[in-house]
Every structure is written in structure tokens, then in C-alpha cells.
Structure 1
């Protein structure tokens, strides 16, 4: 069962997929109804999930489920991964590249390779106050309160 993204409870579980590039307006317009349809049909062992989905910052696909209504099973999570892989194929984008981190610089999402972090910190391009899109956020409340969050308040704090 689809529920609007902004009506998710704070404890709703999230899965965040970061695209390797910004999605165009045309791509977003095509993807949005696919997300709603997936969330509407998403189920666990035949029981519909209270699910939602949204694109954020032109770069992040977020799937959500109200776990207190019905928990997502391994099979339902596999279905969501397959759905995201289908989107990758259809739109020629990668949502599974974990080697690049996303930062908000001005109004733009900038991707930085993991192998570049020390260099970017040393040059001052990234500091503890640079806003970081932590894709490890696991619930809607955290997404609402601290996403993006200062890099110094994330696992990246060890670099400062």
C-alpha cells in the first residue's frame, strides 16, 4: 500500500540509492510514477507493505517501509533491489556504486571518489562542516533531521 513520503512515521525504514550522476528532469518525470507503482505493489509474503518512494536532490532514490505495519522480508528486499537494477538498465545510470561519496556544495551535489577524500580534506575542499549525504541513514526521522549532515558528524569525522 502506497503512503505519501511526507506521511511516513519517523521509524520507517529506508534504503537510499545514490545515482552516479544527476537525473535529468525527463528521467525524473519517467521514474516518479514507476516509484509510486513499485511502492503500491511492494509486498512481503503476500502482504502489502506500507511503502513509499521518492527521488531527492535529483540524485538519490529512496525506498521506505513502515516496519511497524509489516516488516520487509528478505524476498521483498530482493524485489526492491531488482526494481532498482531495472531502473539502472532503463535509464543508463548506476545506483550501486559505493566508491563515490556525495556532498552538497551550494545547491549542487558533488561526487567525490573514496580515494580522493584525504586529498580533498587536505586542500580544504571538504571540511567538517561540508554537508554529506550519508546513504547509511536507516530511518525517515533521521533523514528529516540530519540529511545531509555535516561530514564531521558522520563516519567521515576520522578525517578531520
Structure 2
């Protein structure tokens, strides 16, 4: 069952998929029905799931699930990954790759930094401890709303700023 994302409880589980580029206005409009249809049809062992899906910052697909209603099973998670792969093909972008880290630039745009260049970006001062980082490993809607993005030094990236 589709619900608006803000109607999911703070404890709702979330999965975040980072796009390799920002979506255009036309793409965001075109993909909206598919997001709602996926959320409406998503099931776990035949049980309807209370779910939502939306894009944030034009670059992050966020799927949310109210696990108080029903948990996602292995098969339902597989179904969500199939849906993400379909979106990748339809939009001509990557959502499942993990080679790049995302930061919120001062101009409000998402800045992608290849993992292999992270240390250099910190040493060069392009990334600071307070640089807003999109930690896509967060798992609950509450963290999504309150700590996403978060200052890089408060995330697993803290080790890159130690001693600088």
C-alpha cells in the first residue's frame, strides 16, 4: 500500500540509492507514477507492505517501509532491487554503484567524490569536517529527516579528519 513518505513512522526502514547524476525535472515527473505503483504493489509473502518511494535532492531514490505493518522478506527485497534496476535502465543512470560519495555543496547541489579520491579531497581542504555528507547507510526515517546529510566528521568518515 502506497503512503506519502511523510506519513511513514519515524521507525520506518529506509533504503537509499544514489544516482550517478541528478534527474531532470522531466525525469522526476515521468518516474513518479512508477514509484507510486511499486510502493502500491510491493508485498512480502503475499502481505501488502505499507511503503513509499521518492527522489530527494534530485539524486537519491529513497524507499521507505513501515515494518510495524510487515517486514520485508528476502523475496520482497529482491523485488525492490529489480525495481531499482528497471529505473536504472529507464533513466540511463546508475543507482546501485557505491564508488562515489555524495556531499552537499554550498550552492545546494550534490557533489560526488570518487572513494579513491576522498583522502586527497580532505588533504586539499575541498572537504572539511563540517562538509554535509549523505550517509546512505542510515536505516530509519528519523535519521533521514534529522541527520541526512550530516557533518562528515560525525559519520564513518571521521577517521579521514583525525589529525587534520
TM above 0.5, yes or no, is: yes
1:71 aligns with 2:46: no
Which residue of the partner structure matches residue 11 of structure 1?
11
Which 4+ stretches in 1 moved above 6 angstroms? Answer: none
The alpha-carbon deviation at position 145 of structure 1 amounts to: 0.8
Work out the CA distance in 1 between the residues paired with 2:18 and 2:36: 18
Structure 1 unaligned blocks of 5 or more: none
1:22-79: CA deviations, max 9, x gaps?
A: 1111111111111011001100011110001110000000001000110000000000
When normalised by structure 1's length, the TM-score is: 0.99
Q: How many residues align?
A: 160
Aligned partner of residue 30 in structure 1, secondary structure: helix
Which residue of the partner structure matches residue 85 of structure 2?
85
Work out the CA distance in 2 between the residues paired with 1:11 and 1:74: 20
Aligned partner of residue 14 in structure 1, secondary structure: strand
Work out the CA distance in 1 between the residues paired with 2:117 and 2:9: 37
The alpha-carbon deviation at position 105 of structure 1 amounts to: 0.5
Which residue of the partner structure matches residue 54 of structure 2?
54
Q: CA RMSD in A?
A: 0.6
Structure 2 unaligned blocks of 5 or more: none
Which residue of the partner structure matches residue 137 of structure 1?
138
Which residue of the partner structure matches residue 38 of structure 2?
38
When normalised by structure 2's length, the TM-score is: 0.96
